[in-house]
């Protein structure tokens, strides 16, 4: 007989915290694609080009040389010091500290662990990356969403009005997943100054900063020493599986992040860190130009059939769903065309749009455009 605990739960049950969360909608799209024969999969948010050969060789050489064990928690010195020097040079802040993390997702987890307590509020711009809300809520925080539809631009006055005594973090992602929107220089400057003036930490997720097609990227860290920046090699160098990211910001926060990494991820994988050092010297202009070309081809193919805001960065298009429901449209697309897209309900409270990831093969992109046009004609 199973003896319940003092809360009346079976002792073998999962925690209430774990039970409160469902599988990511993107993971469900992956699972659906695996069940279909030759699907048109426009759901996977990762580059379709290969990581640089020099980075692959560096990882192999590291593994062959026996560099397979733990590294210092904050990263191997050759990588951490180079990234830190670059962050200090770019921001003009000589005291800025950096920690190499187990992917940018690891950096996000550690940043929120270091910054929020149960009951604290985190301002999030929706539509937002699928991890933001669950992570905040997992830590006992409360998400304060700011809806950016239909333009996806950020209204700094709305942010100021949303700040309360319980607000601890503003979470910014530019270029943004899922919309591809790129915040302009004035917006990021004003957000940084607002956060500093109100005693709130602005966390800037800059994982897609190398994917800016129509205007230059602007980091809020240029305008405040209190901004915390998250970045990584997954998107810029097609190293999603190697799990190497980093976080930089004020010393007190990065010290806390480093300590928490000791008790969670321990360190980023060592061969991946050696690959990252090599990747820093690899030009990525050609694959990034190819991403822009695919963006333009997708927009040209869907213009007049779907309503969308031109994405200035990342590698996503976020059209309005025919019929008004992204979830219903995604289900119809899968059943009628074997087309896998991600409904907007995954990224926030609204279910009006759907996400297309266009870093796919030429054949898949062409099939996807044709299928989307058929769906628009019949829906």
Domain stop point among 279, 311, 326? 279
Kindly tell me the burial class for residue 5, based on how many C-beta atoms sit within 10 Å of its own C-beta (0-12, 13-18, 19 or more). Answer: exposed
262 and 345 together in one domain:
no
342 within some domain: yes
212 and 81 together in one domain:
yes
107 and 167 together in one domain:
yes
271 within some domain: yes
* C-alpha to C-alpha distance for 180 and 165, rounded to whole angstroms: 31
Strand spans (E) along the chain:
40-41, 97-101, 121-126, 142-147, 167-173, 201-205, 228-232, 245-249, 316-317, 339-340, 342-343, 354-357
142 and 155 together in one domain:
yes
107 and 215 together in one domain:
yes
6 within some domain: no
Domain count for the chain? 2
215 and 363 together in one domain:
no
256 within some domain: yes
34 and 95 together in one domain:
no
pLDDT of amino acid 25? 58
Q: Which CATH number belongs to the domain containing residue 292 in this structure?
A: 3.90.1150.10
315 within some domain: yes
250 and 107 together in one domain:
yes
Range of the domain at 163: 53-279
261 and 196 together in one domain:
yes
33 and 64 together in one domain:
no
139 and 275 together in one domain:
yes
260 within some domain: yes
240 within some domain: yes
DSSP structure string for 275-320: HHHHHTTS--HHHHHHHHHHHHHHHHHHBTTB--PPP-BTTEE-PB
pLDDT of amino acid 8? 65
21 and 120 together in one domain:
no
Domain stop point among 229, 258, 279? 279
Q: What is the pLDDT along the chain (379 residues), one digit of tens a residue?
A: 455 666 666 666 788 788 777 765 566 666 666 677 789 999 988 999 999 999 999 999 999 999 999 999 999 999 999 999 999 999 999 999 999 999 999 999 999 999 999 999 999 999 999 999 999 999 999 999 999 999 999 999 999 999 999 999 999 999 999 999 999 999 999 999 999 999 999 999 999 999 999 999 999 999 999 999 999 999 999 999 999 999 999 999 999 999 999 999 999 999 999 999 999 999 999 999 999 999 999 999 999 999 999 999 999 999 999 999 999 999 999 999 999 999 999 999 999 999 999 999 999 999 999 999 999 998 7
10 within some domain: no
Q: Which CATH number belongs to the domain containing residue 235 in this structure?
A: 3.40.640.10
């Amino acid at each position: 007989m199973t003896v319940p605990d003092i809360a009346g739960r079976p002792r073998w049950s999962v925690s209430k915290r774990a039970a409160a969360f469902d599988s990511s909608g993107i993971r469900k799209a992956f699972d659906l694609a695996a069940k279909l024969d030759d699907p048109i999969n426009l759901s996977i948010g990762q580059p379709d080009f290969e990581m640089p050969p020099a980075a692959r060789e560096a990882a192999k050489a590291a593994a062959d040389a026996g560099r397979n064990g733990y590294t210092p928690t904050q990263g191997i010195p050759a990588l951490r010091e180079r990234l830190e020097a670059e962050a200090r040079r770019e921001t003009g802040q000589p005291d800025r500290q950096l920690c190499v993390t187990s992917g940018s997702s690891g950096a996000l987890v550690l940043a929120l662990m270091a910054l929020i307590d149960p009951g604290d509020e985190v301002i999030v711009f929706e539509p937002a990356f699928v991890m933001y809300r669950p992570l905040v809520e997992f830590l006992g925080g409360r998400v304060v969403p700011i809806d950016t539809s239909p333009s996806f631009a950020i209204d700094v006055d709305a942010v100021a009005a949303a700040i309360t005594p319980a607000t601890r973090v503003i979470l910014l992602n530019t270029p943004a997943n899922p919309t591809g929107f790129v915040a302009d220089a004035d917006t990021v400057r004003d957000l940084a100054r607002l956060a500093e003036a109100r005693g709130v930490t602005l966390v800037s997720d800059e994982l897609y900063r190398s994917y800016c097609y129509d205007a230059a990227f602007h980091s809020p860290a240029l305008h405040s020493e209190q901004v915390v920046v998250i970045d990584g090699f997954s998107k810029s160098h097609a190293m999603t599986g190697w799990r190497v990211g980093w976080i930089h910001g004020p010393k007190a926060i990065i010290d806390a992040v480093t300590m928490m990494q000791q008790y969670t991820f321990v360190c980023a994988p060592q061969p991946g860190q050696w690959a990252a050092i090599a990747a820093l010297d690899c030009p990525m202009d050609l694959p990034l130009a190819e991403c822009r070309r695919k963006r333009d081809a997708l927009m040209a193919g869907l213009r007049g059939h779907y309503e969308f805001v031109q994405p200035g960065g990342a590698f996503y298009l976020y059209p309005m769903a025919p019929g008004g429901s992204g979830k219903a449209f995604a289900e119809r697309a899968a059943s009628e065309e074997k087309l896998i897209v991600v409904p907007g309900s995954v990224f926030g409270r609204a279910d009006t749009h759907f996400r297309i990831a266009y870093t796919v093969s030429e054949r898949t992109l062409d099939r996807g455009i044709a299928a989307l046009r058929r769906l628009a004609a019949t829906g």
